Structure 1
Amino acid sequence: MTTTGLNDEPNELQPYEENFVEQAEYIERDRFLALAAEHPYEASILRKLKGGGAKLLIGPRGCGKSTLMRKAFYQILESENDSALPVYVNFKLALKLEPFYVNGPNASYWFRAWLVLKVIAAIWGTKEQLASLSFPANFPSKAKLSKLIDSLEASRADGDLVDEFTISYLIELVDDLAIENNLSRVVILIDDAAHSFSEKQQEDFFDFFRAIKSRLISPKAAVYPGITSHSASFHVGHDAEQIDAWVRPSGVEYEDFMVSLAEKRFLDTGLNFVSDNEEDIRFLAYASFGIPRGFLGMLRSIYNSQESYTTSDGSLNKNKILRLSRTGRDMSHAVFDSLTSKLPSYTSYVQNGSKIYQAILTQIKEYNKGKELERQGFQFAVKSPVDSDLDKVFGFLQYSGLIMPSGSILKGEKGSFQHYQVHLGDITAENIIVGRRTKSISSFLTVIRATKHQAWPRLTNASILEGADVDRNDFVLSLPLCHVCATPRSNPEARFCSNCGAQLKPSSTYEALVQQNISALPISKRMEKRIKENSNIRKVRDILIDANKETLLGIPYVGKIRAQIIVGHAEEHVS
């Protein structure tokens, strides 16, 4: 796994390392507003997030959904002409409730209570930002909410304590809050929503999302493509408008957005990497494929290892920049590969998906052979209808940020095609465009910036599977393994292992993830070694239960910023 978060970290903390923290939720308000660049479609997106109605903000990991949600939150707070109240709540750790779905019949009840408690607790978070907010007399205390949330996340359930925290109670409480403060609406911004890989849990979330929508309550949720399961009663378009947060990596507007992001992150560092090496920075922006988190990981590497990336005249080393450009695609591949742990029943889809993706890259490369730079491409189309198993694979690839859908295209008698663009980091790293002999940053930019022609490899379900050497029968849903001998279960209803005879336990994705070694996190080997040599932290669970980061902060050269980054990696691992 690539160490895009803490790779190349120096022994001493660099003075402006906080500038390169990728996750928006870990940056304090003033710093966040100073560091955030303006999304090309920011005005339109924020208008919808701040306004009435239910919205779904969709995009892969790291594409900027959290940044947009937090911008909407702060803008509503600062508005003098709007009587709206923003509530920002993060459901990143929803998978902590998954054991209820494994071990008991009342999982939906406990999960709904947790959702309600999290939203009410987040209203306290708004009050910390808005001192003038007045609470009605019946508003629950912050300490009580925190205690109940912690209890549910530890799988300790007490119906008597959470009985009152129903959806109707939340709606009544918000109504009282609105009357108390003369509010026109309450905008609930739910970040990392439907993040759990439990389909039933996701369905329960969308039932909750639909139920709280009202004249007064305007829910907005950040969700992911490809893995999100809506409930039977929830219909995208009717129950909520979908907003695309993923910036298409094309054109001057995109380049300027990413360059602006780079300039803000290097601000006050005394370094002129951006203005002195603008073409290199624009190339890295394309190599990140519209995912700012990957782009910031590359900038962090340059900042942390300046001597390594610069030449004697102070310019960036072209060969090292070409190598660095791989890290964005490596991050997306790591997210894709992690699905074998988070969706173990779909292991065959992930494994075969890797072959399919490589086969598509090969077919694009063949298509580009002998063509002039301006006529080469990095897109492909699949004849409709797309096979259901392939469609599932494409969904996982979208979630990971490896392919970007471009809609449907009609080609007359040849039929309709689903159009996609593949990760530009793979296009450059795998010599899909340009060619090995003429490889340079300028030549890559020539291809990427060229006016696109209506020509690309037109593939079929059969040609993709044949090119990947994958058979339709290779897609199977895997049953959970025996916890003793790791033998697959013989059937879904089996109570004892067919190999060792051990009684089979319910399978919990959350428990499997937290029990993994910290080597599964995207941290460098040097950081992993330092953590293990200076603490008792060995598993992901050890980081998550270090509530105040006391153990992490006791490790040499791990300060507040690095500790937060490590905790962020652990939380993302189980989300």
Structure 2
Amino acid sequence: MTSAQVENELESALQQRADYIPIEDLLRETSPSGDLFQVVLRELTNRSMRTIVGPRGCGKTHMMRYAWLQCRDEGARPFAVYASFNRYFRLEPLLSSHAGALEQFHSWVLARTVLALVDSGQEWQPKLELDDLLQELVSVDDLQAFVTRIERSQPLNELTQRVADSLSIEVVQKLIKAARERAGRKFAVLLMDDAALTLTPEYLIEFLDIVRSLKAVDLAPKASVYPGTTEISPKFHQGQDSVAIPVWLCVEDPGYDDTMDGIAQARVRDFNKVPHDVRIMLRFAAFGIPRAYLTMLDEFQRGDFKTQQQGVSRIIQDHFDARIAEFRSLGKKVPKLESLVTAGEAVLEGIAREIKAFNEKLAARQQKQLTYGIVEAELTPIIERMFSLLVEAGLTYDNRTVKHGTPERIYRRFIPHTANLLFIRALGGGGPGGSLKQTVDAIALRSAKHPIRKGLQRVVPSVDLEHLSLSLPKCAACDTRRLTDNQRFCHNCGQQLVDASTFAQCLDTPIGQVPGLTQWQREQILQHLPMLRTLRDFLAKQDPAADLLTVRGFGRRRTARIVDVLNGFVDDYLS
């Protein structure tokens, strides 16, 4: 692979994430088509507090950044502040090492919000000078110094402690109000991205309390969350304090094809050169996740396949395998969810098998079925949580409840990942060797009116769903699962039981195993930087880019992108 090809490959991988699109390119690379996009945009720019819900890659970050641009460029819209909290995991060690971890987290969220306010003022048109608003409180440099110390788990000195003490909900509200008045807008929205602090429920509860407390007559916070692992604060009531707005586009939505292709048209170079049948297959396999569609299209354009069918099949299989791997990682990141993850994967496979068998019967009627209906009575809280995890991982779409009269005929409808259905040939005939054209024709068939309805336990007899429960953590010494939640010593080896830090597990990941790096880059780092072996080594460096620049062939642009890949992996692993 040539140097130029390596450069283009890495750039392509990064550009699929909205975080890496330059703000001024966002308008050009956004397709505002589709009813869902317009609904979410309205909700992000109205006066009400909202939570934006959806799995990774569905467009939460993109829509928030786009909403910020719309507010900046259209005088009738509110003043907007966009703040990302994707570095919250760096504060996780404080929970076990610092008695005031929650207080420091509280101050960190407020400091991040004020820094985001300053950034918004700098990018506003015309630019808003906000330095004088902070002079009586704290300087921007002092705020940044406080945030840096917290994220590096360093003790606060006198200066940064003074910064923490000076921050409060009321102070942040007053600063945003003053900025809003200077911008000449009637109210403000605070777009709080990456707010789903899934791995540290203690922080999540505190965060949602902050979101609720920041709400004012002229200030409407909006927070992006996940559907499965986001645990809501007892003081934060969905439906009262906030309304959840789904972002995920259903694969059976009438405007699905036009919306997904509109996004690809805006983001993918030479999109119209991709063969029509290939676009249909990849669009269907993307399962309503724009990032997935863009990534698979890019892989097809860069791939060197013997046939179109071989290329499409391999891309879809790799995509689904990656989604399953991500889902399994939830059980490692949050040990108490391990049993739900294991059961969820079995349920997903069982539902896909049922749909395949059902579609074989429907073939003669020129119809297809993608939906599985589960009687509401079967959805106990623990089963519902299991499905929420499948939804969060983007493996199952929750298509809401449908009623057919009696309580026994009230069904919750779920659609399993379409890439899985294509992988097991649940459409277009169950036998091996079916043509691309057969599958494309099957995708175009009209959907049957009623979903498949069969008891969940019958679909997965190998899993005891009736006694499904959260998993207890394992002993770090001998890997034996504890027997009770309050157990202090391992019943197998006698070692004292300590909860493992997800952050520490992430830091021990070898750099050579981080996806997104090319094989050549891995070899160069291994050969020339023997002290840079794990993400712990990388994050410990004050300026890791300086070390990378010493490697022959690592220029400034390539080094910057490698740093982005490594930081992005850490963010994704713990977000």
**TM-score strictly above 0.5:** yes
8 Å Cα contact 1:259-1:282 kept in structure 2: no
Kindly report which structure 2 residues correspond to 1:10-409, keeping only aligned pairs within 5 A, or say none: 12-14=6-8, 17-18=11-12, 21-40=15-34, 41-82=36-77, 84-130=78-124, 132-135=127-130, 136=133, 137-138=135-136, 140-158=138-156, 159-250=161-252, 253-267=255-269, 272=270, 274-275=272-273, 277-305=275-303, 308-309=304-305, 317-372=308-363, 374-385=366-377, 386-409=379-402
The offset of 1:502, in angstroms, is 4.2
Which digits, 9 at most, give the CA deviation of each residue in 1:18-67, with x for residues without a partner?
48621111121233332233351222221221221111111101111111
Distance 2:9 2:373 in 1: 47
Distance 2:536 2:30 in 1: 32
Distance 1:294 1:546 in 2: 33
Task: Name the stretch that deviates more: 34-43 or 87-96.
Answer: 34-43
The offset of 1:232, in angstroms, is 1.2
Which digits, 9 at most, give the CA deviation of each residue in 1:476-506, with x for residues without a partner?
4222422x44444454444444444444445
Counterpart check, 1:459 vs 2:454: yes
Which digits, 9 at most, give the CA deviation of each residue in 1:201-243, with x for residues without a partner?
2111111110000012111111111111111121112211221
8 Å Cα contact 2:198-2:231 kept in structure 1: no
Aligned CA distance change for structure 1 residues 37 and 428 (closer, same or farther; 3 Å): same
8 Å Cα contact 1:127-1:133 kept in structure 2: yes
Distance 1:10 1:52 in 2: 48
Which digits, 9 at most, give the CA deviation of each residue in 1:279-318, with x for residues without a partner?
311220110101112122212323433xx04x6xxxx722
Which digits, 9 at most, give the CA deviation of each residue in 1:73-95, with x for residues without a partner?
1111111334x321111111212
Q: Identity across aligned pairs (percent)?
A: 23
Task: Name the stretch that deviates more: 489-498 or 365-374.
Answer: 489-498
The one-letter code sitting in structure 1 at the alignment partner of 2:79 is: L
Distance 2:84 2:70 in 1: 18
8 Å Cα contact 1:56-1:240 kept in structure 2: yes
Distance 1:71 1:567 in 2: 23
Aligned CA distance change for structure 1 residues 397 and 552 (closer, same or farther; 3 Å): farther
Query: What is the count of residue pairs matched by the alignment?
Result: 555
Aligned CA distance change for structure 1 residues 351 and 564 (closer, same or farther; 3 Å): same
Distance 2:79 2:249 in 1: 28
Which digits, 9 at most, give the CA deviation of each residue in 1:512-565, with x for residues without a partner?
222233455434672544443343432233344456550455554645345423
Aligned CA distance change for structure 1 residues 517 and 88 (closer, same or farther; 3 Å): same
The one-letter code sitting in structure 1 at the alignment partner of 2:239 is: G
Task: Name the stretch that deviates more: 62-71 or 324-333.
Answer: 324-333
The offset of 1:247, in angstroms, is 1.1
The one-letter code sitting in structure 1 at the alignment partner of 2:82 is: Y
Task: Name the stretch that deviates more: 383-392 or 211-220.
Answer: 383-392
Distance 1:352 1:9 in 2: 45
8 Å Cα contact 1:20-1:300 kept in structure 2: no
Aligned CA distance change for structure 1 residues 460 and 530 (closer, same or farther; 3 Å): farther
8 Å Cα contact 1:348-1:478 kept in structure 2: no
The one-letter code sitting in structure 1 at the alignment partner of 2:373 is: A
The alignment yields a C-alpha RMSD, in angstroms, of 2.8
Distance 2:255 2:238 in 1: 29
The offset of 1:134, in angstroms, is 2.7
Aligned CA distance change for structure 1 residues 382 and 8 (closer, same or farther; 3 Å): farther
Partner of 2:571: 571
The offset of 1:12, in angstroms, is 3.2
8 Å Cα contact 1:365-1:431 kept in structure 2: yes
Counterpart check, 1:511 vs 2:509: no
Whose RCO is larger (CA < 8 A, sep 6+)?
Answer: 1
Aligned CA distance change for structure 1 residues 220 and 554 (closer, same or farther; 3 Å): farther
Distance 2:203 2:225 in 1: 14
The one-letter code sitting in structure 1 at the alignment partner of 2:439 is: F
In structure 1, the residue corresponding to 2:400 is in which secondary structure? strand
Aligned CA distance change for structure 1 residues 30 and 180 (closer, same or farther; 3 Å): closer
Show structure 2 runs of 5+ residues with no match: none
Show structure 1 runs of 5+ residues with no match: 1-6
8 Å Cα contact 1:19-1:266 kept in structure 2: no
8 Å Cα contact 1:383-1:417 kept in structure 2: yes
8 Å Cα contact 2:33-2:262 kept in structure 1: no
Distance 1:251 1:446 in 2: 18
Task: Name the stretch that deviates more: 21-30 or 323-332.
Answer: 323-332
Partner of 1:540: 535
8 Å Cα contact 2:490-2:497 kept in structure 1: yes
Which digits, 9 at most, give the CA deviation of each residue in 1:419-465, with x for residues without a partner?
01111100001112222346233322333332222233212243244
Distance 2:50 2:236 in 1: 12
The one-letter code sitting in structure 2 at the alignment partner of 1:167 is: I
The one-letter code sitting in structure 2 at the alignment partner of 1:230 is: I
Distance 1:37 1:438 in 2: 36
In structure 2, the residue corresponding to 1:405 is in which secondary structure? strand
Task: Name the stretch that deviates more: 251-260 or 232-241.
Answer: 251-260
Distance 1:498 1:451 in 2: 57
Distance 1:73 1:357 in 2: 37
The one-letter code sitting in structure 2 at the alignment partner of 1:421 is: I
The one-letter code sitting in structure 2 at the alignment partner of 1:109 is: E
Task: Name the stretch that deviates more: 548-557 or 433-442.
Answer: 548-557
Counterpart check, 1:423 vs 2:425: no
Distance 2:523 2:501 in 1: 29
8 Å Cα contact 2:278-2:308 kept in structure 1: no
In structure 1, the residue corresponding to 2:374 is in which secondary structure? strand
The offset of 1:121, in angstroms, is 0.8
After TM superposition, the score normalised by the length of structure 1 is 0.88
Task: Name the stretch that deviates more: 140-149 or 39-48.
Answer: 39-48
Aligned CA distance change for structure 1 residues 173 and 501 (closer, same or farther; 3 Å): same
Aligned CA distance change for structure 1 residues 180 and 75 (closer, same or farther; 3 Å): closer
The one-letter code sitting in structure 2 at the alignment partner of 1:80 is: G
Which digits, 9 at most, give the CA deviation of each residue in 1:161-196, with x for residues without a partner?
411212222123223334455442221111111233
8 Å Cα contact 1:403-1:422 kept in structure 2: yes
Task: Name the stretch that deviates more: 108-117 or 546-555.
Answer: 546-555
